[in-house]
Amino acid sequence: MLMKPVVPALFLAAIIWSSPAAPGSKGVDSLDRFFREVGTFAARFEQIVLDEGLNQIEESVGRMTIKRPGRFRWDYDPPLEQKIISDGDKVWIHDIDLEQVTVRPLVDILGKTPAAILAGKGNISENYLVTDLGNYGKLSWVGMQSKQEDSAFSDMRIGFENGNLRVLELVDNLGQTTRITFLESVENPLVSDESFAFVPPRGVDVIDQTKN
């Protein structure tokens, strides 16, 4: 499972989704702009995971960077230290505590992790059914449902604040929810391709699934 505990948090959902929607939501326009005009994106993130009973089971923080198309890196801070890096072709998942690296083809995880979803490019409506969920508090919300039958998520929601990406919520097919909040974000920073290169450290176990 990519992105450490790659899925979400609903303890705010009862408050968010029970609020009346304000007219004139900008969510869909913000989503379209993000995928058309933002080629690189960097932020600090906070991630929480809830089980199907909405009990928090995990909390983690770190930094992320994407560069379209297909390049991304998510660096989780201790104690859940992990690195997930894609060079646009392969994805490396480095579990520091386990001293293990797993390598997978990027095509295998497209649309199946938050990282791969955000690093996609082009017309988002080609791969997702997009629904305007209205404005709630400071955020304009958009719902996304994958058109792929084997999607890892049954529900996705993205929240924008003043047009800027702020929250990503995903509910997986087991009912777990992941909520990722983006802080100190920067759109279109200069990011070199070398930032997404990865060489496994000496001594770690490497599980290469690109040869299967």
Domain CATH number, residue 178: 2.50.20.10
| 125 Cβ contact partners less than 8 Å away, ≥ 6 residues apart | none
**Which of 2-6, 28-32, 75-79, 121-125 is the least confident region?**
2-6
Task: Report the alpha-carbon distance of residue 180 to residue 91 in Å, rounded.
Answer: 20
111: in domain: yes
The CB-side HSE value for 37 (13 A sphere, CA atoms) comes to 11
Averaged pLDDT score across all residues of the chain:
84
Task: Report the alpha-carbon distance of residue 29 to residue 164 in Å, rounded.
Answer: 11
Task: Report the alpha-carbon distance of residue 67 to residue 120 in Å, rounded.
Answer: 9
Ordered strands of the 56-67 beta sheet: 128-136, 139-146, 153-161, 164-172, 177-187, 40-50, 56-67, 71-76, 82-87, 90-95, 100-105, 205-208
pLDDT 10s digits, 146-191: 777 766 777 889 999 999 999 999 988 888 999 999 999 999 999 9
15: in domain: no
Q: Domain tally for the chain?
A: 1
**Which of 15-19, 27-31, 160-164 is the least confident region?**
15-19
Residue whose structure tokens are 């995903």 = 170
Does 123 have pLDDT greater than 60? yes
CB-CB contact of 86 with 71 (8 Å): yes
188: in domain: yes
The predicted model gives 25-42 an average pLDDT of 90
The pair phi, psi for residue 174, each rounded to 5°, is -100, 0
Question: Which structural domain range is residue 163 located in?
Answer: 21-208
10: in domain: no
Q: Which residue has the higher pLDDT, 11 or 91?
A: 91
